[in-house]
Amino acid sequence: MSMAMEDEIKRWTAKRKSALVMEILQGKTTVAEASRSYDLPPSEIETWIDEARRGMENALRANPLDIREQYEKQIKQLQEAYGEAMLELRARKKCSPCWARTRSDRDDPPGTQGRRDRRLDQSAVPVV
Domain hosting residue 40, numbered range: 1-60
- The verdict on residue 26 lying in a domain is yes
Tell whether 71 and 55 lie within a shared domain: no
Q: What is the pLDDT of residues 81-106, one digit of tens each?
A: 999 999 999 988 888 665 555 555 55
- The verdict on residue 101 lying in a domain is no
- The verdict on residue 15 lying in a domain is yes
Average pLDDT over residues 8-24: 91
Q: Is the pTM of this model over 0.75?
A: no
- The verdict on residue 79 lying in a domain is yes
Instruction: Tally the residues of the chain.
Output: 128
Tell whether 56 and 22 lie within a shared domain: yes
Name the burial class of residue 16, with classes exposed (0-12), middle (13-18) and buried (19+) by CB atoms within 10 angstroms of its CB.
Answer: middle
Tell whether 50 and 86 lie within a shared domain: no
Q: What is the pLDDT of residues 23-45, one digit of tens each?
A: 999 999 999 999 999 999 999 99
Tell whether 55 and 79 lie within a shared domain: no
